[in-house]
């Protein structure tokens, strides 16, 4: 699990959170940090969600161990919903319809990206994403946290 792109994993396995998207292809707004280590995909609602992955993380094995211990599933990254705190995602497969196509833009350090109820801010220390109710996620190679 360590060193693999979580978003690549999001695109390669069975939906665990919410219903599958329709069979028709969609282009999904998506961002990546300048380092290329963190990616996020926006899925419009209802209710809408932000799915984020990280290629290299010091805590990857700990999250994989939690997912295996609690649900016998794989760790697939992070999710932020419009009205809840962000969380890590354990799943048995894909979270993004394989016919959908993320359109990535690089979010330069010091810049903000907004889609639906989500706002992300890129810094060299990591990526912060929040929803309109004040909850969010911070992701970096060294740590992650939710609020």
84 in a domain, yes or no? yes
pLDDT of res. 34: 98
* Mean pLDDT value of segment 72-82: 95
* pLDDT tens-digit readout, 18-44: 455 455 789 999 999 999 999 999 999
Three-state SS across the chain? Answer: CCCCCHHHHHCCCCCCCCCCCCCCCCEEEEEECCCCCEEEEEECCCCCEEEEEECCCCCHHHHHHHHHHHHCCEEEEEEECCCCCCEEEEECCCCCCCCCEEEEEECCCCCEEEECCEEEEEECCEEEEEECCCCEEEECCCCEEEC
Measured over the CA atoms of residue 18, residue 2, residue 64 and residue 13, the dihedral's sign is: positive
Q: State the greatest distance between any 2 C-alpha atoms of the chain, in Å, as a whole number.
A: 38
Q: What percent of the chain has pLDDT over 90?
A: 73
92 in a domain, yes or no? yes
Q: Is pLDDT at 139 greater than 50 in this prediction?
A: yes
Domain count, the chain: 1
Range of the domain at 10: 6-146
**Residue among 80, 118, 73 nearest 94 (CA):** 73
pTM, two decimal places: 0.82
1 in a domain, yes or no? no
pLDDT of res. 40: 98
């Amino acid at each position: 699990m360590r060193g693999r792109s979580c978003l690549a994993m999001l695109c390669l396995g069975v939906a665990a959170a919410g219903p599958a998207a329709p069979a028709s292809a969609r282009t999904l707004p998506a961002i990546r940090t300048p380092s290329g280590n963190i990616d996020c995909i926006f899925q419009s609602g209802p209710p809408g969600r932000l799915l984020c992955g990280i290629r290299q993380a010091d805590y990857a094995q700990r999250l994989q161990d939690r997912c295996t211990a609690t649900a016998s599933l794989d760790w697939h990254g992070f999710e932020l919903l419009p009205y809840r705190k962000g969380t890590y995602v354990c799943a048995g497969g894909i979270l993004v319809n394989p016919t959908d196509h993320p359109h990535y833009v690089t979010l330069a350090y010091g810049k903000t990206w907004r889609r639906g109820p989500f706002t992300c801010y890129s810094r060299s220390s990591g990526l912060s994403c929040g929803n309109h109710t004040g909850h969010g996620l911070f992701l970096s190679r060294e740590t992650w946290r939710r609020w």
